[in-house]
Structure 1
Protein backbone atom coordinates (compact mmCIF):
# COMPACT_ATOMS: atom_id res chain seq x y z
CA UNK A 1 0.00 0.00 0.00
CA UNK A 2 2.73 2.44 0.92
CA UNK A 3 4.45 1.87 -2.44
CA UNK A 4 1.29 3.16 -4.12
CA UNK A 5 0.70 6.07 -1.73
CA UNK A 6 -2.29 4.41 -0.05
CA UNK A 7 -2.88 4.68 3.68
CA UNK A 8 -4.07 1.39 5.20
CA UNK A 9 -6.35 3.22 7.63
CA UNK A 10 -7.87 6.66 7.71
CA UNK A 11 -9.28 6.52 11.23
CA UNK A 12 -7.63 6.67 14.58
CA UNK A 13 -6.79 3.58 16.58
CA UNK A 14 -9.85 1.99 18.13
CA UNK A 15 -12.60 3.56 16.01
CA UNK A 16 -14.68 1.79 13.41
CA UNK A 17 -15.09 4.56 10.83
CA UNK A 18 -12.87 2.75 8.30
CA UNK A 19 -15.10 -0.31 8.37
CA UNK A 20 -18.49 1.42 8.26
CA UNK A 21 -18.55 1.91 4.48
CA UNK A 22 -17.49 -1.67 3.72
CA UNK A 23 -19.92 -3.08 6.27
CA UNK A 24 -22.70 -1.12 4.59
CA UNK A 25 -21.62 -2.37 1.14
CA UNK A 26 -21.51 -6.00 2.30
CA UNK A 27 -24.91 -5.61 3.96
CA UNK A 28 -26.41 -4.28 0.72
CA UNK A 29 -24.80 -7.08 -1.28
CA UNK A 30 -26.17 -9.72 1.09
CA UNK A 31 -29.69 -8.26 1.02
CA UNK A 32 -29.79 -7.79 -2.75
CA UNK A 33 -28.05 -11.03 -3.77
CA UNK A 34 -26.88 -13.54 -1.19
CA UNK A 35 -30.09 -13.95 0.83
CA UNK A 36 -32.16 -14.32 -2.38
CA UNK A 37 -30.15 -17.08 -4.05
CA UNK A 38 -28.34 -20.32 -3.53
CA UNK A 39 -25.62 -21.78 -5.72
CA UNK A 40 -24.56 -25.33 -6.48
CA UNK A 41 -20.85 -24.53 -6.73
CA UNK A 42 -18.41 -21.94 -5.52
CA UNK A 43 -17.69 -20.98 -9.15
CA UNK A 44 -21.38 -20.20 -9.72
CA UNK A 45 -21.42 -18.01 -6.62
CA UNK A 46 -18.23 -16.18 -7.62
CA UNK A 47 -19.52 -15.57 -11.17
CA UNK A 48 -22.86 -14.29 -9.88
CA UNK A 49 -21.12 -12.08 -7.35
CA UNK A 50 -18.87 -10.60 -10.04
CA UNK A 51 -21.84 -10.06 -12.37
CA UNK A 52 -23.78 -8.37 -9.59
CA UNK A 53 -20.98 -5.99 -8.63
CA UNK A 54 -19.46 -5.24 -12.02
CA UNK A 55 -22.55 -5.71 -14.18
CA UNK A 56 -25.17 -4.01 -12.02
CA UNK A 57 -23.92 -2.27 -8.88
CA UNK A 58 -21.10 -0.28 -10.51
CA UNK A 59 -22.87 0.42 -13.79
CA UNK A 60 -26.58 0.83 -13.05
CA UNK A 61 -27.41 1.09 -9.34
CA UNK A 62 -27.86 4.77 -8.56
CA UNK A 63 -26.84 6.06 -5.15
CA UNK A 64 -28.08 9.07 -3.23
CA UNK A 65 -24.63 9.98 -1.89
CA UNK A 66 -23.30 10.12 -5.47
CA UNK A 67 -25.96 12.58 -6.62
CA UNK A 68 -28.25 9.82 -7.93
CA UNK A 69 -25.55 8.50 -10.27
CA UNK A 70 -24.11 5.02 -10.52
CA UNK A 71 -20.51 4.60 -9.32
CA UNK A 72 -19.30 4.38 -12.95
CA UNK A 73 -21.19 7.56 -13.93
CA UNK A 74 -19.86 9.39 -10.88
CA UNK A 75 -16.28 8.33 -11.59
CA UNK A 76 -16.57 9.33 -15.27
CA UNK A 77 -17.93 12.76 -14.29
CA UNK A 78 -15.10 13.21 -11.77
CA UNK A 79 -12.45 12.36 -14.38
CA UNK A 80 -14.10 14.70 -16.90
CA UNK A 81 -14.04 17.52 -14.35
CA UNK A 82 -10.35 16.85 -13.65
CA UNK A 83 -9.53 17.02 -17.36
CA UNK A 84 -11.14 20.44 -17.84
CA UNK A 85 -8.61 23.27 -17.88
CA UNK A 86 -8.94 25.59 -14.96
CA UNK A 87 -9.03 29.28 -15.64
CA UNK A 88 -7.50 31.78 -13.33
CA UNK A 89 -9.52 34.97 -13.13
CA UNK A 90 -7.65 38.07 -14.20
CA UNK A 91 -6.61 40.38 -11.43
CA UNK A 92 -8.72 43.50 -11.28
CA UNK A 93 -6.82 46.61 -12.33
CA UNK A 94 -6.51 49.35 -9.81
CA UNK A 95 -7.14 52.89 -10.80
CA UNK A 96 -5.40 55.61 -8.84
Structure 2
Protein backbone atom coordinates (compact mmCIF):
# COMPACT_ATOMS: atom_id res chain seq x y z
CA UNK A 1 0.00 0.00 0.00
CA UNK A 2 1.35 3.42 -0.92
CA UNK A 3 0.93 6.91 0.47
CA UNK A 4 -0.72 7.95 -2.80
CA UNK A 5 -3.31 5.18 -2.44
CA UNK A 6 -4.24 6.05 1.14
CA UNK A 7 -4.34 9.76 0.24
CA UNK A 8 -6.72 8.98 -2.63
CA UNK A 9 -8.95 7.00 -0.23
CA UNK A 10 -8.89 9.84 2.29
CA UNK A 11 -9.75 12.41 -0.38
CA UNK A 12 -12.65 10.23 -1.53
CA UNK A 13 -13.96 9.94 2.04
CA UNK A 14 -13.70 13.71 2.56
CA UNK A 15 -15.41 14.34 -0.78
CA UNK A 16 -18.19 11.87 0.04
CA UNK A 17 -18.88 13.56 3.37
CA UNK A 18 -18.88 16.97 1.67
CA UNK A 19 -21.31 15.72 -0.96
CA UNK A 20 -23.59 14.60 1.85
CA UNK A 21 -23.41 18.05 3.47
CA UNK A 22 -20.89 17.18 6.16
CA UNK A 23 -18.12 19.75 5.95
CA UNK A 24 -16.89 19.82 9.55
CA UNK A 25 -14.92 16.70 10.42
CA UNK A 26 -13.72 18.04 13.76
CA UNK A 27 -13.60 15.30 16.37
CA UNK A 28 -13.27 12.47 13.86
CA UNK A 29 -10.37 10.13 14.67
CA UNK A 30 -8.50 8.16 12.00
CA UNK A 31 -6.82 5.18 13.67
CA UNK A 32 -4.14 3.24 11.80
CA UNK A 33 -1.14 1.10 12.40
CA UNK A 34 2.32 2.65 12.15
CA UNK A 35 2.77 1.92 8.45
CA UNK A 36 4.91 4.43 6.58
CA UNK A 37 2.02 5.45 4.32
CA UNK A 38 -0.02 6.51 7.37
CA UNK A 39 2.83 8.25 9.17
CA UNK A 40 3.96 10.14 6.07
CA UNK A 41 4.01 13.91 6.23
CA UNK A 42 1.58 14.19 3.30
CA UNK A 43 -1.05 11.89 4.84
CA UNK A 44 -0.80 13.30 8.36
CA UNK A 45 -0.94 16.87 7.05
CA UNK A 46 -4.06 16.13 5.02
CA UNK A 47 -5.80 14.63 8.04
CA UNK A 48 -4.98 17.69 10.13
CA UNK A 49 -6.05 20.07 7.33
CA UNK A 50 -9.41 18.26 7.21
CA UNK A 51 -9.85 18.54 10.99
CA UNK A 52 -9.34 14.82 11.55
CA UNK A 53 -7.26 13.66 14.51
CA UNK A 54 -4.62 11.10 13.48
CA UNK A 55 -4.18 8.17 15.87
CA UNK A 56 -1.32 5.80 15.15
CA UNK A 57 -0.89 2.56 17.05
CA UNK A 58 2.37 1.50 18.64
CA UNK A 59 4.75 -0.66 16.65
CA UNK A 60 4.48 -4.28 17.75
CA UNK A 61 1.53 -3.72 20.12
CA UNK A 62 -1.28 -6.08 19.15
CA UNK A 63 -3.74 -4.36 21.49
CA UNK A 64 -3.55 -1.21 19.38
CA UNK A 65 -5.09 -3.13 16.50
CA UNK A 66 -7.84 -4.83 18.52
CA UNK A 67 -10.62 -3.02 16.65
CA UNK A 68 -9.15 -3.91 13.26
CA UNK A 69 -8.63 -7.52 14.32
CA UNK A 70 -12.23 -7.69 15.54
CA UNK A 71 -13.42 -6.30 12.20
CA UNK A 72 -11.38 -8.88 10.30
CA UNK A 73 -12.99 -11.59 12.43
CA UNK A 74 -16.48 -10.34 11.54
CA UNK A 75 -15.50 -10.21 7.86
CA UNK A 76 -14.27 -13.80 7.94
CA UNK A 77 -17.30 -15.04 9.89
CA UNK A 78 -19.95 -13.24 7.85
CA UNK A 79 -18.47 -13.41 4.37
CA UNK A 80 -15.36 -15.44 3.73
CA UNK A 81 -16.15 -18.72 5.51
CA UNK A 82 -19.82 -19.07 4.50
CA UNK A 83 -19.40 -17.50 1.06
CA UNK A 84 -16.88 -19.82 -0.55
CA UNK A 85 -15.66 -21.56 -2.50
CA UNK A 86 -13.99 -18.62 -4.18
CA UNK A 87 -13.05 -18.76 -7.85
CA UNK A 88 -10.09 -16.41 -7.64
CA UNK A 89 -8.74 -13.29 -5.95
CA UNK A 90 -10.87 -11.01 -8.14
CA UNK A 91 -14.02 -12.82 -6.98
CA UNK A 92 -13.05 -12.26 -3.33
CA UNK A 93 -12.29 -8.60 -4.05
CA UNK A 94 -15.66 -8.06 -5.73
CA UNK A 95 -17.72 -9.63 -2.95
CA UNK A 96 -15.57 -7.83 -0.36
CA UNK A 97 -16.46 -4.48 -1.94
CA UNK A 98 -20.14 -5.34 -1.74
CA UNK A 99 -19.83 -6.57 1.86
CA UNK A 100 -17.96 -3.44 2.99
CA UNK A 101 -20.57 -1.20 1.36
CA UNK A 102 -23.35 -3.16 3.07
CA UNK A 103 -21.53 -3.23 6.44
CA UNK A 104 -20.86 0.52 6.35
CA UNK A 105 -24.35 1.56 5.25
CA UNK A 106 -27.07 -1.04 5.82
CA UNK A 107 -26.03 -3.47 8.57
CA UNK A 108 -27.36 -2.65 12.04
CA UNK A 109 -24.74 -2.50 14.78
CA UNK A 110 -25.48 -3.35 18.40
CA UNK A 111 -22.84 -0.89 19.64
CA UNK A 112 -24.78 2.02 18.10
CA UNK A 113 -28.22 1.06 19.44
CA UNK A 114 -29.02 -1.28 16.56
CA UNK A 115 -28.86 1.53 14.03
CA UNK A 116 -27.11 1.39 10.70
CA UNK A 117 -23.94 3.49 10.47
CA UNK A 118 -25.75 5.96 8.22
CA UNK A 119 -28.62 6.32 10.72
CA UNK A 120 -26.17 6.80 13.60
CA UNK A 121 -24.27 9.42 11.64
CA UNK A 122 -27.51 11.28 10.82
CA UNK A 123 -28.48 11.28 14.52
CA UNK A 124 -25.00 12.47 15.49
CA UNK A 125 -24.93 15.38 13.05
CA UNK A 126 -28.53 16.39 13.78
CA UNK A 127 -27.72 16.60 17.50
CA UNK A 128 -24.46 18.39 16.81
CA UNK A 129 -26.18 20.98 14.62
CA UNK A 130 -28.85 21.61 17.28
CA UNK A 131 -26.14 22.36 19.84
CA UNK A 132 -24.18 24.71 17.58
CA UNK A 133 -24.41 28.40 18.55
CA UNK A 134 -26.00 30.71 16.00
CA UNK A 135 -24.88 34.16 14.97
**TM-score, length-scaled by structure 2:** 0.53
Q: Secondary structure at the match of 2:54?
A: coil
Contact 2:108 2:116 in 1 (8 A): yes
Matching residue within 44, 51, 54 for 1:2:
44
Q: Once superposed, what is the RMSD of the aligned Cα atoms?
A: 2.4
Larger of the two Rg values belongs to structure: 1
Matching residue within 96, 103, 119 for 1:49:
96
Count of residues in correspondence between the two structures: 86
Equivalent positions of 1:74-89 (< 5 A) are 74-86=120-132
Identify, as 1 or 2, the structure richer in helix. 2
**Larger RCO: 1 or 2 (CA < 8 Å, sep 6+):** 2
Structure 1 residue ranges (4+ consecutive) displaced by more than 3 angstroms after TM superposition: 11-17
Q: Return the offset for 1:33.
A: 0.5
**Where do 5+ consecutive residues of structure 2 fail to align?**
1-42
* 1:38 matches 2:62: no
